Every structure is written in C-alpha cells, then in structure tokens.
Chain A
Amino acid sequence: MSEISTSPGALTAPASPSVATSKSAVISPSAATIQKIQRERKLYAAVYAVLLIGTVLTVAMYYVHFDAVWQMVAVALLIAATKAAFVVAVFMHLWHGQRDIYRIMFFTSIFVAALLGFLTYSLFSLPGSGHYLR
C-alpha cells in the first residue's frame, strides 16, 4: 500500500492556468510520511557528503605514491565502488528491501561478473600482458 493519501477533492479541482506555478495542495502527507521523508532527506544529505569526500579522495589519491600500480587501481576502484554502493542503496531506494529488483540485478551482476572475469582470466594467456599492474 502506498503511504501517500490523495485528498478526494484532487480529481475534481478546477484546472487553473497556473497549475504548474501554484503551490499545490493535492498531496497532503500524513504525519508519519512527513517524519519518514524528513529522515530520508537527512540520509540524502549524508550520502551527498560521502560522495563529495569520495571525489576529493579519488583526486587526492593521484598525488599519493603507491609502490605498485595494482595498489592504486585497487584503491581507486574501492572508492568508486563505495560511492556507487551509497548511490544505489540510498538515492535509488534499494535500501528499502525491494526483493524483485534484487533478483533482476542479481542475474545482471552474474553476467557482468562473467564478462569481466573471463576477460581478466584471458589476460593470463596473452604474451607480455599485465605488466601495467606490476
């Protein structure tokens, strides 16, 4: 069930030319919804802060000396994956347990993992490849 309650007058409200400009009253959220949305907003602001910090770290990483390139690649991808996880979980609402989407994305991730996995595996049989990561 949706939590939004639409007021019964919504459908019969006279259309005015300033529909888009007037502050509409057609959605009147319940107290519970208001509380939930306010929590959600705080969460979005926190995720935004995480994303900003992640971007700063990504750029800062470039000025840090790593002993091997694979370490830099690992750190860069770790930061990117962390940012991505926050975006998917919070901005894209996957945090709120959406079982069927998990199923869709689970199958997709199997294919992506296979794609990346087989390609990476094939590198070991290419002559001279992989020096970049050493």
Chain B
Amino acid sequence: MKIPYTTEIREDTGLYNGKVGMWLFLASEVMLFGALFSAYVLLRIGAREGEWPHGLLNIPIGAFNTLVLITSSMTVAMSWTALKMGNFSLYRKLQVVTLACAVLFLGVKAWEYSEKFHHYEIWLNEPLTAQEYPQLAGHSTDLNAPITSIIGHIDDAGSFATLASLQEQGKSTVEIHPDEFHYRLSAREQGQRRKAERAAGGAAATSHAQAGIPIDVSNIARLSAFVPKHSTFFAMYFTLTGLHALHVLGGVLAFAYILWPASKMWRQDPERYTNSIEVTGLFWHFVDLVWIFAFPVLYLL
C-alpha cells in the first residue's frame, strides 16, 4: 500500500504530511516542557530569601554538553543537505558524528548524575562555626556565624544514604569532608579563590576535599544526597534534565534506525528518505532548543 503525501506536497497544507505531523507533535512538546519551565520559574521566583540552593551544578560540564548538542544539531542539518545533493556517504559520516555527540551527551549526563548521588548535605540540630572547624571557612564568611548545614562527602556512605539507613547500620558518628568549593561558592567566587590560591603558591588548588569533621548521628536533623528529595531545586533539575535525556535517547534510536536498518529506503525512495531525516532533524533541533534554555535556567540563574 502506498502512503500518500510522503514526498508530494499536499495542496491544503503546502507541505508533505510527515512535516505537518512532526510540527503538531512539537507543538505538544512545547506545552510539555513549557509547563515544566513555568513551574520552575514560579518556584524559583516564589522561593523565600535564602531558601534556594545555589551553585550546586557543575557549570563547565553543563557548558561542554551545550557545545556537544549544538554541534550535533549542525551535523544533522548538514547531513540533510548531503542527502539533497545525493551524497549518501557524506550523510553517513555526518550522522555518525551526530550519534557520537548524542552518546557523549548522555554519558556526560550520567556521570554528572552519579556525581550528585554521592554528595551529601547534612542539616544539624546544633550548629557549628568556622571558628571551631577552619575547614568550614567556605560555608560562611563570618567565622562566628552558626552553620546549620554542611555540604560534602561522607566516608563509607556510598550513594542514596539517609538518616534512617545510617541509624539502621548502627552508626553513632559519621565523618563529613566539607566540599563547599564546588557546591557552596558561586562560579565567580570559585574563580577568585583559585586565583588567590595560585598567587599563594597554590598546592591547595588541586585538592578541595577537606579534612573530615565527625558529626554525631544524634546531631543530624536531616541528611540527603543530591537526589530529587534533597530540595525543590533538585526535584526540578532531575525532572527537566531526565525528561530531556529521554528525548536525546529517543533521537539516538530514531537516527540509528534511519541510518542503518532503514537505509535501503534510500535506493527505493530517496526523496522520502531525505524527508525522514528532515523530520527527525526537526525533533532533534527541538531537543537542542530545550537544552539551550535549560542550561542557563538550571545551571546559572
């Protein structure tokens, strides 16, 4: 059976059907991500002073992933022109680059997630001060100010530990290595600190994990890894980036299918094959667009 309007233009829409279908789908996608982004905006602007966590994401890594994704968008657009020119081998090379970029993006994202899962925040019943523990200097500029929560690594905690799981293991104290360098200071402050350390002769610049501070489990009010339940911020971060990563995965599957198993269509109906790349490309550029907004909104603002 012949499917109509796979290549020929429909008079009433002025387009082939696949393109109309994809744009309708993208319209629904705009609504899906629009809802999540506006929820983020409401929560971010509605948060009371000092309640929104700052600087918990790795900006250089996020920027790198942005570059990877826009590169893949460019190669998809170019690969479509290659098919238009009848140059299948150029198309194939460009699409292999696209797929490599997409897989790299997902790999970096997975690494970023796993980094988050073994960083912890401990909220204390009895606050500490930087006067008592100099390694907390980055948590507060005032030495005598009470520090009610500490961010860092916990010895032997692994990922996803909770206060309940520590109590179940019968632990009475945990040792936390404050790592405010990555998570409490803004990127600007990190840059200033690095500069100061280099000026000071800078052996410290390579190591930011501090000497451990023993904390009584009875002094812990709450303990959470950087997982969705840590805060509204992380809940939004994992929802948005997780949904986006699923879209990237979907794009990988579609492009790989068109590139390999479905490539015989190029011989049978090259115009239709070219259109399938244009339409899948539309989806891919949309996924790129979502990241163009998600990166500054989640990582920088």
Contacts and interface: CB of A to CB of B under 8 A. Distances in A.
Nearest to B76: A91
A68 interface: no
Contact of A122 (B35, B42, B191): B42
B81 A128 contact: no
B41 interface: yes
Given A26-B267, A44-B78, A119 B289 contact: no
A19 B266 contact: yes
Interface stretch (B6-14, B100-108, B213-221, B245-253): B6-14
Interface stretch (B156-164, B172-180, B292-300): B292-300
A104 B27 contact: yes
B143 interface: no
B46 A48 contact: no
A76 B301 contact: yes
Contacts of B191: 63
Interface stretch (B82-90, B129-137, B198-206, B231-239): B82-90
A29 B293 CA distance: 37
B45 A91 contact: no
A123 B85 contact: no
Contact of B85 (A11, A27, A55, A126): A27
Contact of A91 (B52, B285, B295): B285
Contacts of A27: 83-86, 270-271, 274
Given A55-B63, A84-B289, A93-B278, A41 B81 contact: yes
A87 B292 contact: yes
Contact of A126 (B46, B71, B186): B46
Interface string B174-200: 000000000000111001000000000
A99 B14 contact: yes
A87 B81 contact: no
Contacts of A48: 70-71, 74
A87 B20 contact: no
A51 B69 CA distance: 10
B264 A80 contact: no
A128 B264 contact: no
A44 B77 contact: yes
Contacts of A28: 86
27 contacts: A1-B9, A6-B270, A20-B264, A23-B89, A24-B267, A27-B86, A37-B84, A41-B81, A54-B292, A55-B70, A63-B191, A65-B188, A83-B292, A88-B285, A90-B77, A91-B77, A92-B282, A100-B15, A105-B27, A109-B30, A116-B34, A116-B41, A120-B42, A122-B42, A123-B46, A129-B46, A133-B45
Given A2-B271, A92-B282, 9 more contacts: A26-B267, A37-B81, A40-B81, A58-B66, A83-B292, A108-B31, A112-B31, A115-B31, A115-B38
